[in-house]
Amino acid sequence: TVLVTTLRRIIDRLEDERGRTSVLVELGEVLELHLRQRVPAREAYEQALALSPGYVPALQALARIYRDN
């Protein structure tokens, strides 16, 4: 979708790790909750955690994915 493409472009252009982390979680939410694409969503959340270990929104999202499996 256009939104997913736009979010990925933003992630690629952001140099600030906090900003990238936040947008990665937004991307994951769009993929998971709106497009029902759980694998790419999980990957986005994991990338967010790789940038910012312990980032609570990413941890909560991953927990939701694992719980619902």
**Nearest CA-CA partner of 17 in 49, 41, 46:** 49
Report the C-alpha gap between 52 and 33 in whole angstroms.
Answer: 22
Global pTM value: 0.95
Model confidence pLDDT, tens digit, residues 9-41: 999 999 999 999 999 999 999 999 999 999 999
**Angle at the Cα of 38 from the Cα atoms of 32 and 39, rounded to 5 degrees:** 135
Residue 43's nearest CA partner among 67, 66, 60, 62 is 62
Q: Tokens in use for 46? A: 């994991």
